[in-house]
Amino acid sequence: MSDTNFAAVEELLQNHRAKTEARVDMLLPENGRLSDSVVHAARHSLLDAGKRIRPLLLVEFYKLCGGEDECAYHFAAALEMIHTYSLIHDDLPCMDDDDMRRGKPSCHKQFGEATAVLAGDGLLTEAFGVAAKTVGLPVERILRAMGVLSSCAGISGMVGGQIIDLESENKQVQIETVTEMYRLKTGALIRAAATIGCILAGADEDLIEAASTYGEKMGLAFQVIDDILDFESTDGVLGKPVGSDEKNHKNTYVSLLGLEESRNIATQLTNEAITILERFSGDTNAIADLTKYLLSRNR
Amino acid sequence: MSDTNFAAVEELLQNHRAKTEARVDMLLPENGRLSDSVVHAARHSLLDAGKRIRPLLLVEFYKLCGGEDECAYHFAAALEMIHTYSLIHDDLPCMDDDDMRRGKPSCHKQFGEATAVLAGDGLLTEAFGVAAKTVGLPVERILRAMGVLSSCAGISGMVGGQIIDLESENKQVQIETVTEMYRLKTGALIRAAATIGCILAGADEDLIEAASTYGEKMGLAFQVIDDILDFESTDGVLGKPVGSDEKNHKNTYVSLLGLEESRNIATQLTNEAITILERFSGDTNAIADLTKYLLSRNR
């Protein structure tokens, strides 16, 4: 892929970031209520931060399957709200105990633990309300997509991955356990993004299935690259403390398989994810370029 | 009301408890996955405990508006899952720091803080999935009810009430602030129960509105009675440490208005709630008796 493609991906990311930003800003306003402080804390973690990969994927798969851009943005915002809640709770002292996130103090560092717990709870709860308020699409699709959102974020998905992560700390585990943890902790929400995009657009079942497999592979690649970055990056570039995996005695692809093997796996998964895109008849260049871009990211 | 009515209410509660219990037991199984421990912790807090007032109200309003019993039980279970998640997070050390709940060790006492945070997150997330999987009802109703569930549990509802509660500790606040806190913290989910029952049954808008007003008044009465019980009950009866409001320097109806005035207000709200039931044409005796029963409960 040429540098030109990278520039196009960065423009796409920037464009999507602005749209997601505007949408969540509108959906979660501070409006002079007694409960505004929890909104303020949620907005601290939600706005002006993050790559917005998940909402971008959701909207791009939606467009790939013939959907009209604007209708899917409520779900895109809901997905980012769920991702953000998971970061807030993950950073808590009783979890990973991280002070920095997305280049800013983590939510509990800035507002205290209790407010951070509630900001996370609020974002998770409101996300489903935002999704339920999607307009312009058949209600059957919205309901099915909400089911996917719940199962990918819940105990069979992200929350399940978090508990495996927690229980693997300070223990020697097999690569299979780490893979299952990544599949749930990071992969599930990326899989949700791709499949929900297809579901909302009314795609055929085989395409929804293809999107799910793409998300599975791309999500795993994404997390393996995160491991590599955590191992070798510097604080300033990553926006969060590096080496926190090592600090927390976490089992990662890098700690179990080494840097080179991890890089090879990430590259292979990326290539497999891109190959799956061939099953779609539309223009998959934007998603393919994004997938390659994420492999070579430095943050 | 005679003692006979009380016996009937207790039978109704027992009957509903068994049905809710069976439903949540089925919906949240431990099934040999790596993530089972979070399910185990969630089930500890969810099963064999609680009065199940909210699911009971949901199903009774549903039946009152002509609904068929079984279809509403998924939503009833979802509501109880959301209520339980809120108790788990509310008991955390950074929140109310309570060691006992529903006559058992609180979730974090039994399983540790991180698992308790995740058990709460899991219950909240799965609740929306359970609701989305409701069968036998028009999807428009299910989607609207999910919107109500989110707004009543979220920042304009329960989470909003929790943050007001948190910020009122160790401060002298007015009774209006306490009322708003109760309206959101406790009232919102009870209001959700009554209105969702009506929505799922396809009731007219004026009846949905009446159910909302009933829930508002009944929910406030319920929390004022909780204040009274916290002040005067014993640990053994209540199943949680008494005087925890005083320990946490909380503003309550009892601390601001005294016992007698609080009792008068609870009685008046109960009567007003029962009067509202006259707007329904069906048999409201079961709900009316339950409402009176809750006024005279001792736990």
* Structure confidence by residue, pLDDT tens digits, A229-238: 988 875 555 5
pLDDT for res A1? 47
In this prediction, residue A247 has a pLDDT band, given cuts at 50, 70 and 90, of low
Q: Which of B265, B271, B261 is nearest to B292 (CA)?
A: B271
Assigned token pair, A181? 């943890």
Residue in B115, B155, B177 nearest the CB of A126: B155
Over range B140-169, report the average pLDDT.
96
**Count of A-B CB contacts under 8 Å:** 164
B133 has a chain A CB within 8 A of its CB: yes
What per-residue confidence (pLDDT) applies to A297? 85
Instruction: Tell me the pLDDT band of B1, cut-offs 50, 70 and 90.
Output: very low
Residue B253 has pLDDT above 80, yes or no: yes
Rg (alpha carbons) of chain B, rounded to whole number: 18
Q: Which tens digits make up the pLDDT trace of B159-184?
A: 999 999 999 988 999 999 999 999 99
Query: For chain A, where are the alpha helices, taking DSSP H only?
Result: 3-27, 36-46, 53-64, 73-90, 107-111, 113-132, 139-153, 158-168, 175-182, 188-200, 205-232, 235-238, 244-247, 253-257, 259-276, 285-295
Q: What is the pLDDT of residue A277?
A: 98
The pLDDT-based confidence of B238 (bands split at 50, 70, 90) is: low
Q: In this predicted complex, what is the ipTM?
A: 0.95
Nearest CA in chain B to A127: B150
Digit-coded pLDDT (tens) for B105-127:
999 999 999 999 999 999 999 99
Most confident of A170-174, A274-278, B230-234: A274-278
pLDDT at residue A186 is higher than 80? yes
The set of residues, in sequence order, having a beta carbon less than 8 Å from that of B275 and lying 6+ positions away, is: none
- B155 → chain A, closest CA residue: A122
Confidence of residue A41 (pLDDT cuts 50, 70, 90): very high
The mean pLDDT value of chain B amounts to 92
Q: Which residues of B touch A33 (CB under 8 A)?
A: 156, 160
User: What are the residues whose beta carbons fall under 8 Å from the beta carbon of A139, sequence distance 6 or more?
Assistant: B139, B140, B143
Instruction: Please tell me the distance in Å from A106's CA to the nearest CA on chain B.
Output: 16
Q: In this complex, is the C-beta atom of A139 within 8 Å of any C-beta atom belonging to chain B?
A: yes
